[in-house]
Amino acid sequence: MMNWVKGFFSVDKPIIGMCHLMALPGDPLYDKNGDMEKIIECAQRDIAMLQEGGVDAILFSNEFSMPYQTKVEPITIAAMARVIGELKHVIKIPYGVDCLFDPVATIDLAAVTNAAFIREVMSGIYASELGFWNTDIGKTSRHLCNRGLTDLKLFNNIMPEFAKHVVERDIGEMITSTLFVSRPDVLCVSGLTAGRNPGIELLTKIKNLGLDTLLFCNTGCTKDNIKEILNITDGAIVGTTFKIEGKFNNPIDVRRVKEFMSAARGRGFDT
């Protein structure tokens, strides 16, 4: 079941670099003076930095569409599709999409951009800074089926940032039922916010469950901890640490990407 990774990413334990899109039309933080051209220009620069730095794949997200929505407006999907469509010719590695935090919208975005994978919160019910956050895996799964995206890989963020499961459950029970119901290709585990690590102890506990799916660290990876994280997990999604001074709001620093990837390669894996 896990043999798809090497053929998909060309490495055993992939590092997926985040391309955080600037605030989009309709978002409170949208820069009307910069317009869409500035968003596209910044995304193109970050893509170049990630690829030059040596990441194995790119994940596009509307990271600055804050405060986030659990059901996004059509303009968000349209804006993300435009950015990716205009820059597709410069993307040389696999890429995925995440239309925060709406899995149905993310599937539609994947359909029109030919994304290879998606990451989203697809199952569970949470109390969060976004309010009461309910998912509908049945609707999401049927929407995926109706779009005919049989090869699309699903990354389920089972512990989303700034949120907590409404009912406290043993992590093993929660993951076992998640796998049975939603059947994701990858489980993503996050810290409290972007740039915060979920913790080695938690990642180890989840890995020791003997999962029949892949486990990725979704936040908080740095050049100093990536070797230890890859000893436990099957890959990582990386954003904040790649940025200038390691700060969330900054653009990507190719030097930091190269240093990180060098540390990852030092593990002895293909990455």
pLDDT in tens, 60-117: 999 999 999 999 999 999 999 999 999 999 999 999 999 999 999 999 999 999 999 9
**Which residues pair with residue 134 across a beta bridge?**
125
- Nearby residues of 201 by Cβ (< 8 Å), 6 or more positions away: none
**CA nearest 28: which of 67, 86, 81?**
67
Residues 165 and 173: beta-carbon distance below 8 Å: no
Q: For 129-140, what is each residue's pLDDT tens digit?
A: 888 999 999 999
Q: How far is CA 61 from the centre of its chain?
A: 7
Structure tokens at 156: 């389920």
CATH number at residue 100: 3.20.20.70
Give the pairing type, strands 153-159 and 214-217.
unpaired
pTM of the model: 0.94
Residue 192 clears pLDDT 60, i.e. is over it = no
Residue 266 clears pLDDT 70, i.e. is over it = no
Specify burial of residue 25 (Cβ count, 10 A radius: 0-12, 13-18, 19+): middle
In a domain, 106, yes or no: yes
Q: How many domains does the chain have?
A: 1
Give the pairing type, strands 186-189 and 214-217.
parallel
In the chain, the percentage of residues whose pLDDT exceeds 70 is 95
In a domain, 88, yes or no: yes
Mean pLDDT taken over the chain: 92
Domain, as residue range, for 227: 12-264
In a domain, 270, yes or no: no
Structure tokens at 136: 């509908």
In a domain, 212, yes or no: yes
Specify burial of residue 32 (Cβ count, 10 A radius: 0-12, 13-18, 19+): exposed
Residue 271 clears pLDDT 50, i.e. is over it = no
In a domain, 130, yes or no: yes
In a domain, 217, yes or no: yes
In a domain, 2, yes or no: no
Q: For 238-264, what is each residue's pLDDT tens digit?
A: 999 999 999 999 999 999 999 999 999
- How far is 263 from 15, CA to CA, in rounded Å? 11
Residue 41 clears pLDDT 90, i.e. is over it = yes
Q: Supply the pLDDT for residue 253.
A: 98
In a domain, 129, yes or no: yes
